[in-house]
Amino acid sequence: MTDNDNTDSLHHKFETGDDSDFDYPGRAPDADWRAAAAERINEHRKADLEVHVTDEDGVPVEGATVDVTMTEHAFDFGVEVDSDALTGQNDEMTESETQQFQKAFHTLFNKGTINDGFPPWTWDWGDGTNSGTQVGFDGVQWLVDRDTPVHGHTILWMWSGRAAPEKILEIEDDDELRERMTEHARDVASELAWGIDEWDVINHPVKMDGVWRDRFDSDPSAWVEWLNAAREGDPEATLFVNEAAFRNDEETEGYRERYYDMIEYLLEEDAAVDGLGFMGHFSPETLVPPEEALERLDRFAEFDLEIQFTEYDFADDWSEEELPTEQAEQLQADYTRDFYIYTFSHPAVTSVITWGIWEPTHWRDDAAFFREDWSTRPHHDVYKELVFDTWWTKECGETDSEGTYETRGFKGEYVVDAVVDGETRTATVTVDDDRNVVEL
């Protein structure tokens, strides 16, 4: 199938359910917001490509067959990966499961988030295990070896149990503790500059702010200090703050306003911040209707910072009696479809990272694309069709009398072939905002 902006086929597969208690405005196939989203996708996610074919004397060749094949998206469709699972160091996984995990990553995603603390700091997960061993570095290396961008999560976390190792938090002098955290931000960014392209420098700055509140008297200048230290450590990295401030519930609304105020403050203080991250760990009760989500994105886009959905998943926080599994998975698929459409359509959003691949390694079992037996849930199928069919370009045509073939494709990497008198000429090209011309 050639690329298009029509998602009707997805709606035929997952018809809207009848249970109005678990629904959201804009779910219908003919919802008004869809046409506008398709127009934005065409405007912001696609670009023109010209292929010029000439003979050995530079004379334009008419009627040459041209194939334009996309090989990689410019937009980051990422996923959180457990380093031990990715690198074959998870003792509970068989070799076959490790291979399947790696294959799923390669097949579906073009960026990885490493969700490990990095030495010398670790934090206790509460189950007797610690994050922050060599395996975190191994995960980064595995991705780098495969030319895959890496999103680091996280340098600092204000939650009391994970802001720093216990021995660091035992420091009694608040000024000394703050300086140790500043040093950590600088050191980690520097030590991993070889592999991590972007960082969540401060995670949960307003939702889980226990250490910042209790030890630093809620002094916002600490945020600036830590971001600037990370910039010193790696001047080339893209630096984010990251918060669960998007979904719809009363508690999150409060976080969202505080998050907005925080970003406003950081910009006023010229802090080293390049982007803002939204977490989207949704349940049926917290879904954000597409039109409302787009308005919310518009508001935060006024800061003129890169926006990423750093953590996306949707889990069934319901019982079988409330919503049968079939309807639950249908709702999950429908919202995943619409979530990716509204985020991909918004020009300020540069990346969406789903929070896990496989049920045994996912923090919310039913949110994973793959069940324990590696069968796929419907929302996996929706994601795959959107990213690799609806939003994927593969075109074929012939050059005109001036030796030119023109098309419009999704931004990304391409292989372009031209066949003249049985001879194939090939070029690779990056299609981006610039004028994209291939000479063959």
Give 288-305 pLDDT, tens digit per residue.
999 999 999 999 999 999
CB 22 within 8 A of CB 330: no
Whether pLDDT at 396 is above 70: yes
Q: For residue 118, what pLDDT is reported?
A: 61
Asked if 130 and 122 touch (Cβ cutoff 8 Å), the reply is: yes
Instruction: Look up residue 415 and give its two tokens.
Output: 């292989």
Rounded to whole angstroms, the Cα distance separating 231 from 270 reads 12
**How far apart are alpha carbons 218 and 210 in whole angstroms?**
9
| Alpha-carbon gap, residue 388 to 169, rounded angstroms | 46
> Judging by DSSP bridges, how do beta strands 306-314 and 275-282 pair with one another?
parallel
CA distances from 182 to 89, 159, 179, 408 (A): 31, 16, 5, 47
Cα dihedral 89→91→96→102 (10° resolution) = -30
Question: Within 13 A of 5's CA, how many CA atoms are on the CB side?
Answer: 20
* Residue 347: other Cβ atoms inside 10 A: 13
pLDDT score at 325: 82
Ordered DSSP codes for 104-162 = HHHHH-SEEEE----TT--EE-SSS-EE-SHHHHHHHHHHHHTT--EEEEEEEE-STTT
Question: How many angstroms separate the Cα of 347 from the Cα of each of 40, 41, 42, 148?
Answer: 8, 8, 11, 23
Q: Computed from CA positions of residues 207, 213, 217, 220, in that sequence, does the dihedral angle turn out positive or negative?
A: negative
Whether 70 contacts 394, CB under 8 Å: yes
Among the listed residues 356, 339, 244, the one whose alpha carbon sits nearest the alpha carbon of residue 287: 339
Report whether pLDDT(155) > 70: yes
Distance CA 389, CA 91 (A): 36
**Residue 173 C-alpha from the chain's centroid:** 38
Please tell me the distance from the alpha carbon of residue 144 to that of residue 114, in angstroms, as a whole number: 12
CA gap 409, 415 in Å, rounded: 12
Fold observed for domain 71-390 = TIM Barrel (3.20.20)
* pLDDT tens-place string over residues 36-91: 999 999 999 999 999 999 998 899 999 999 999 999 999 999 999 989 999 999 99
Q: What is the distance between the alpha carbons of residues 212 and 51, in angstroms, rounded to a whole number?
A: 56
Phi, psi of 334 (to 5 degrees): -60, -45
The alpha carbon of 209 is separated from its chain's Cα centroid by a whole number of angstroms, namely: 24
Residue pair 394/3 in contact (Cβ under 8 Å)? The answer is: yes
* Structure confidence by residue, pLDDT tens digits, 422-432: 899 999 999 99
Residue 2 has what pLDDT?
38
Percent of residues, the chain, with pLDDT higher than 70: 89
Residues 414 and 428: beta-carbon distance below 8 Å = yes
Closest CA to 87 of 116, 107, 110: 116
Task: State residue 130's pLDDT score.
Answer: 46
Read off the pLDDT band of 22 (50, 70, 90).
confident
Q: Identify the pLDDT of residue 124.
A: 47
Total residue length of the chain: 440
Strands (E), 231-305: 238-243, 275-282
pLDDT of 175 above 60? yes
Distance CA 165, CA 169 (A): 6
Between β-strands 238-243 and 275-282, what pairing exists: parallel, antiparallel or unpaired? parallel
* pLDDT tens profile 131-153: 556 788 889 999 999 999 999 99
Q: Which of 14-28, 81-95, 195-209, 357-371 has the lowest mean pLDDT?
A: 14-28
User: If you write DSSP's letter for every residue of 26-88 in order, what string do you get?
Assistant: T-STT-THHHHHHHHHHHHSEEEEEEE-B-TTS-B-TT-EEEEEEEEESSEEEEEE-HHHHHT
| 115 class by beta-carbon count within 10 Å (0-12 exposed, 13-18 middle, 19+ buried) | buried
Does the pLDDT at position 129 exceed 70?
A: no
Question: Is the separation of the CB atoms in 139 and 81 below 8 Å?
Answer: yes
Mean pLDDT of the chain: 89
pLDDT exceeds 70 at position 400: yes
Angle separating helix axes 325-345 and 33-44, nearest 10 degrees: 50
